[in-house]
Amino acid sequence: LLSLCHAEEAAVIVSGLRSTDVFVGESATFTCELSHPGVRNVQWWLDGTPLHNNLVTEISEQDGRIHTLTLNDVACHDSGTVTFRAGPLISSAKLLVKGISLSA
């Protein structure tokens, strides 16, 4: 019989968040891919503020490995650092919301 005593291999971040520039009123999407599912305590933050699923903030998960955050209808004050945390794993990226130049 094969012994199952060895510790489960810890998940790692396969593909981390990427910094994103968008214009006011657009949506910004951040994706983080983990090596395998089952990581507990998954949380998204914007500049240290925890984010929750609502009309403006869409948080989704695919196969327990691909975690996606979409911020809809962003405003200038949404610019900042987006952080994804899954247990001990952390990935961060910058969100830059640009105003629309009227002289364009």
Look at the block and give the residue holding tokens 């998204």.
44
pLDDT tens across 73-104, in order?
A: 999 999 999 999 999 999 999 999 999 766 54
- Is residue 2, in this structure, part of any structural domain at all? no
Domain range for residue 79? Answer: 13-98
Classify residue 103: in a domain, yes or no: no
Kindly state whether residue 17 falls inside one of the protein's structural domains: yes
Q: Which two tokens stand for residue 25?
A: 């009123």
The C-alpha atoms of residue 80 and residue 102 are separated, in whole angstroms, by: 24
Q: How many domains does the chain have?
A: 1
Beta strands, E only, the chain:
13-15, 20-23, 28-34, 42-46, 49-50, 57-62, 66-71, 80-86, 89-98
pLDDT value at residue 103? 56
CATH, residue 42: 2.60.40.10
pTM for the predicted model, two decimal places: 0.86
Using one digit for the tens of pLDDT, what is the confidence trace for 11-56? Answer: 999 999 999 999 999 999 999 999 999 898 999 999 999 999 999 9
The pLDDT assigned to 40 comes to 85
